[in-house]
Amino acid sequence: MQCLDDLFKWLRTEGGQVAVYDATNSTKDRRDEIRKRCGENGVEVIYVETLCTDQEQIAFNVRETKLFSPDYKNMSAEEAIQDFKKRIAQYEKAYETLEDDQLSYLKLINVGPERKIIINRPTVSIMARLASYAMNLHIQRRVIYLTRHGESEANRTGKIGLDTDLSADGVLYSAALATFLGKHLSRDADVKVWTSTMRRTIQTASRLSWDRVAWKALDEIDAGRCDGMSYEEIEQRMPEEFSMRKADKLTYRYPRGESYQDVMIRLEPILLEMERVTQPLVIVAHQAILRVLYGYLKDIPPTEVPNIEIPLHCVIELVPKTYGVEEQRHPLMIEPKLGSSPYS
């Protein structure tokens, strides 16, 4: 209940909009108490219940996730499994499923192809988005490779945006990328490769042996009237715009262009699709786009996202786990010496 009070404080005074109250609210009484308190605080409630009836899936889940939980830090695997089974049995004794038709709730039953989702009373607008998000989630282990395109002609001349070809070094990177991924992933594997619709990402991925999909949503942040200018030119010719972006890179929107916040919203369908994919996934995109995808996967606060380090000519290998994401960075060639963004 103290935690719930913290949650109200965050929603009321610290700019919070949606809070997830993750606790064992497994009895009707407890849920009623939460609803009462939320009502008193002007907060709408959606209950989310997840059920798993597949014994094999439960065993897999305990092995793959619970054993790494901080609760079992100093226990052997066998002890932890036994303890978790006891824990489930205890919960089952007291457990009351959600079935009150008057409540807004989402019930997620099992994962994988046999999954069933029940949406009751979708009066709160966010429920549809939550349901489609939940529909895409899975707990299979998979790898995601993120890389920027190879150096482009625009990078070489220090200009932002544009839709130029790769430079000679950029072409070398596309070959290095094909060799690297060829060593890590089998040619016959069902690998998903996504690019933007821009020449530099399509050219970078052109040597890969798997099918590619070009997404418009993966195109680089639209710099609007600043597209094709260098940072120095923007500073000289549009000093006000330059200082506004420097002051708040997350919400600043280029004239007739986009902000990082706009890009985050544009990428929502990509994030959903990224969650759904179980196969190895290679995303060849752009600096701002990859900052957002990486920030989402690594749970980085939005204000820090526009300054995340995503160098050229480097593959970022990510394996999402229940508690965090495993990361390895593989620089394949020396990073070109480009002027770094003065906004960071």
Q: Given 151, 169, 219, 220, which residue is catalytic?
A: 220
Q: Pick one of 107, 200, 266, 286: the residue that binds ligand F6P (CB under 6 A).
A: 286
Stretch that binds ligand F6P, among 48-56, 72-80, 98-106, 154-162 (CB under 6 A): 154-162
Can you tell me the distance from the alpha carbon of 344 to that of 335, in angstroms, rounded to the nearest whole number?
18
Least separation, in Å, of the C-beta of 312 and ligand F6P?
9
Which one of 80, 174, 306, 315 is in contact with ligand F6P (CB under 6 A)?
306
Active site residue 52: yes
Binding segment (CB under 6 A) for ligand F6P, from list 23-31, 153-161, 180-188, 264-272: 153-161
CA-nearest of 311, 304, 319 to 340 is: 311
Active-site entry in 22, 40, 101, 299: 22
Q: What would the two tokens of residue 75 be?
A: 């226990």
Question: 98, 146, 284, 288: which one contacts ligand F6P (CB under 6 A)?
Answer: 288
Any catalytic annotation for residue 149? yes
Pick the binder of ligand F6P from 167, 174, 201, 287 (CB under 6 A): 287
Q: How far is the CB of 320 from ligand F6P (least distance, A)?
A: 25
Q: Which residue's CB comes closest to ligand F6P?
A: 341
Per-residue contact track with ligand F6P, 210 to 239, x per CB under 6 A?
Answer: ----------xx-x----------------
Please say if 220 is a catalytic residue.
Answer: yes
Please report whether residue 241 would count as binding ligand F6P according to CB under 6 A.
no
x/- map, 157-186, ligand F6P, by CB under 6 A: ---xx-------------------------
Window 122 to 151, contacts with ligand F6P (CB under 6 A): none
CB 302 within 8 A of CB 264: yes
Q: Is residue 253 at the binding interface for ligand F6P, with CB under 6 A as the rule? A: no
- Token pair, residue 327, equals 């990361």
Task: Decide: is 251 part of the binding site for ligand F6P (CB under 6 A).
Answer: no
Is the distance from CB of 312 to CB of 150 less than 8 angstroms? yes
Neighbours of 130 (CB within 10 A): 18
Q: Which two tokens stand for residue 158?
A: 């220090």
Phi, psi of 120 (to 5 degrees): -110, 130
Of 219, 202, 321, 331, the C-alpha closest to 270 is 219
Residues near ligand F6P (CB under 6 A) are 155, 160-161, 220-221, 223, 286-288, 306, 341, 343
What are the residue numbers of the active site?
22, 52, 149, 220
